[in-house]
Structure 1
Amino acid sequence: MKYILILTFALASNSKLFAQKVFSVDYENQADVKVFVVKYENQADLNVFKVKYENQTGDNNGKWFFTDYVNQAKKKIYFVKYENQADLKIYFVEYENQAGWNKKGKKHLMY
């Protein structure tokens, strides 16, 4: 019984692993994913909505929470200056229901 409780707790705590908690690093070599912000929604791989609270993040669905510290984040991102340097192109949307993947082929980058 004790092992079942421990396993249940471990699985429940790991459910947050896919949350979109990100930290913006200062240097490219520190990043897991290099990101470029495009001007138009149709150019983006992912439409991103910045949430105010950590518990509002989604399961790789474009709802991002920017953490204050690198050790709190699931992914470290670096914003590049040029589109051709990016692994992922994003567009910041105004409303939560607009968030999501336009090109699912790059979805693995945020897992």
Structure 2
Amino acid sequence: MKQFFLISILLLTFNIAKAQKIHTVDYENQADVKVFVVDYENQADLKVFKVKYENQAGKNDGKWFFTKYANQAKKKIYFVKYENQADLKIFFVDYQNQAGWRRASKKELLY
């Protein structure tokens, strides 16, 4: 019984840690989500804060950890040049508490 409990906790922890690990790809066809960075916060679907460490990544709440390798990430993104090409518009914020969704209808893109 203890082993089952321990394994359950480890699996749950692993899934939580993977939640917002992002990798930037070089080509559009490799991406799960196409992203455009907007100039103003009120134009964004999601306000993103880049965390320094993997364990700080959030659960689809805008706290992103950028991985070095694609196989370490939950989602692969491609930064497009034009707003109308994007699935998701983001704005990078300076503080962790500013991160979050502005348009919850787009939330499913990162699950």
Q: Within 2, Cα distance between the matches of 1:54 and 1:32?
A: 20
- RMSD of Structure 2 on Structure 1 (CA): 1.3
Q: What are the Cα deviations for residues 72-103 of structure 1, in whole angstroms up to 9, with x where unaligned?
A: 11110000001010000000111111110000
Q: Provide closer, same or farther for how the CA distance between residues 50 and 38 of structure 1 changes in structure 2, counting only shifts above 3 A.
A: same
Uncovered stretches (5+) of structure 2, i.e. residues with no partner: none
- The TM-score with structure 1 as length reference comes to 0.91
Output aligned runs, 1:1-111, within 5 Å: 1=1, 2-18=3-19, 20-111=20-111
Query: Counterpart of 2:81 in 1: which secondary structure?
Result: coil
5+ long unaligned stretches in structure 1: none
Distance in 1 separating the partners of 2:57 and 2:12: 18
Q: Go from structure 1 to structure 2 and tell me whether the alpha carbon gap of 1:27 and 1:5 turns closer, same or farther (over 3 Å shift).
A: same
Q: Partners in 1 of 2:52 and 2:18 — Cα distance? A: 18
Aligned AA (1:62): G
Corresponding letter in the other structure for 2:17: K
Q: Any idea what SS the aligned residue of 2:91 has?
A: strand
* Cα distance between partner residues in 2 of 1:22 and 1:10: 20
Per-residue deviation at 1:10? 2.4
Aligned-residue sequence identity (percent) comes to 71
**8 A contact 2:45–2:101 mirrored in 1:** yes
TM-score of the superposed pair, with normalisation by structure 2: 0.91
1:23: how far off? 0.5
Q: Find the residue that maps to 1:78 and give its secondary structure.
A: strand
Q: Which runs of 4+ in 1 moved over 4 A?
A: none
**SS where residue 65 of structure 1 aligns?**
strand
Instruction: Show CA shifts across 1:32-55 (max 9, x none).
Output: 000000010000000011111111
